[in-house]
Amino acid sequence: MKRDTKINVGISVISTIVAIAVFGGAYELYGNYEYRKWKESFAHSVEWRGGLTVPSPDPVLMWEYRPNFEFHSRYSIKTNNFGFRDKNFHKKKASNEFRTALIGDSVTLGLRVRQGSTFTSLLNRMAKRRNPAVKQDFMNFGVDGYNAIQVSELLRTKVLQFNPDLVIYALCLNDFDFEDASGLKIRYFRKPRSFLLEKLKLAFGQIANYDSLSDEEYHEFYFRMNHQRVYDEIRNMKTLLDSRDIDFQIVILPIFPPEQPDFKDYPEKDIHSRIDTELDKQKIVHLDLLDAFRASGRSPGYFSRDVWHPNKTGNLFIAKQIYHFLALRYEIFRGAPIANKSSATNEGH
């Protein structure tokens, strides 16, 4: 009797395992079929595919921009000889040149504003007016949709070859999101490892249901999930740049809640505070722009096109704050010759 019971239990266990395996295999086959259909449809529906944005040979970056290309739609993006939204670059740096590399996502890129209205372009004009005797270049390495992991990889594989003197990472709160902010783009360039696992992660709250979250819930969800990985990437960037005697700074950008009359009751202030604390701990020079936007007394909508992207006015405001911050720290931004380009202070922020 006991032997029969053990056999029956064994058969039940084996049957369950086989059923799960069959179901899992069938689900993956169906997922692959649906993915191929979706990818083909998505490729025809997006503006950038096959033109501006192309697959990257680097699996971490996933996508990059086509060099020497001009993209026209609701906005225009013209790339240089290396595939960045800027004038043509030269890898060799002149002896009298000070290079500042701006790295980040679509905010650094200047999405939805004209090329000359990005804060990178505006910084170049400010530097030329303040110190025309010295060749200064603010170089735009922004790529839309990049998260902190991709930005770190971009720095390592592309930016360093241009020998910058200073690297500024424009950190946006959605850089903590490795799944949703650019979810469709990520999905297009990187097929999910398992469609069943993806479904289970969504069901158990390991991936946010983007459409069901408020802006505040969304940013808190991904900050809580990924902040340690982002901090690790920032630490890696600092270590890499320190080894090459290149200065590193971070500019923290707020979001722009369209429904708010001003920044006084800004919903993500606690996230900013936690980032500031971590950067202080890592001894990384940083500028949190939330205070400046709050002091302006203006509404978020005055500076922005949507919750993440500043408009022309917002880009100008950002450029002024960054340049003022740099002028406090570097004599070269106050009109000094190239020999005095060293940092003027060692304060954290």
pLDDT, position 292: 98
Rounded to the nearest 10 degrees, what angle do helices 269-281 and 215-243 cross at? 20
What's the mean pLDDT in 31-54? 70
Identity at 45, one-letter amino acid code:
S
Q: Using CB atoms within 10 Å of the CB of residue 336, give its burial: 0 to 12 exposed, 13 to 18 middle, 19+ buried.
A: middle
Q: Which two tokens stand for residue 2?
A: 């006991």
Element holding 103 (H helix, E strand): strand 97-104
What's the mean pLDDT in 96-105? 96
pLDDT band of residue 1 (cuts 50, 70, 90) is low
Cα–Cα distance between 58 and 150 in angstroms, integer? 10
Domain spanning 47-340: CATH superfamily: SGNH hydrolase (3.40.50.1110)
Q: Where are the domains of the chain?
A: 1-45, 47-340
pLDDT tens, residue by residue, 300-333 = 999 999 999 999 999 999 999 999 999 999 999 9
pLDDT band of residue 217 (cuts 50, 70, 90) is confident
pLDDT band of residue 24 (cuts 50, 70, 90) is low
pTM of the complete model beyond 0.85? yes
Give yes or no for residue 7 having a pLDDT over 90: no
Give yes or no for residue 339 having a pLDDT over 70: no
Q: Which residue has the higher pLDDT, 132 or 26?
A: 132
pLDDT, position 151: 98
pLDDT, position 344: 44
Q: Which residue has the higher pLDDT, 288 or 53?
A: 288
Give yes or no for residue 200 having a pLDDT over 70: no
Q: Which residue has the higher pLDDT, 275 or 45?
A: 275
pLDDT, position 152: 98
What's the mean pLDDT in 28-35? 70
pLDDT tens, residue by residue, 239-258 = 999 999 999 999 999 999 99
Which residue, 85, 233, 51, 227, is CA-closest to 150? 233
Give yes or no for residue 19 having a pLDDT over 80: no
Highest mean pLDDT among 19-23, 90-94, 159-163, 338-342: 159-163
pLDDT, position 190: 77
CB atoms within 10 A of CB 11: 10
Cα–Cα distance between 160 and 162 in angstroms, integer? 5
pLDDT, position 272: 98
Highest mean pLDDT among 16-30, 37-51, 171-185: 171-185
Q: Are 124 and 188 in contact (CB under 8 A)?
A: no
Lowest average pLDDT, out of 51-65, 105-119, 197-211, goes to: 197-211
Q: Which residue has the higher pLDDT, 1 or 229?
A: 229
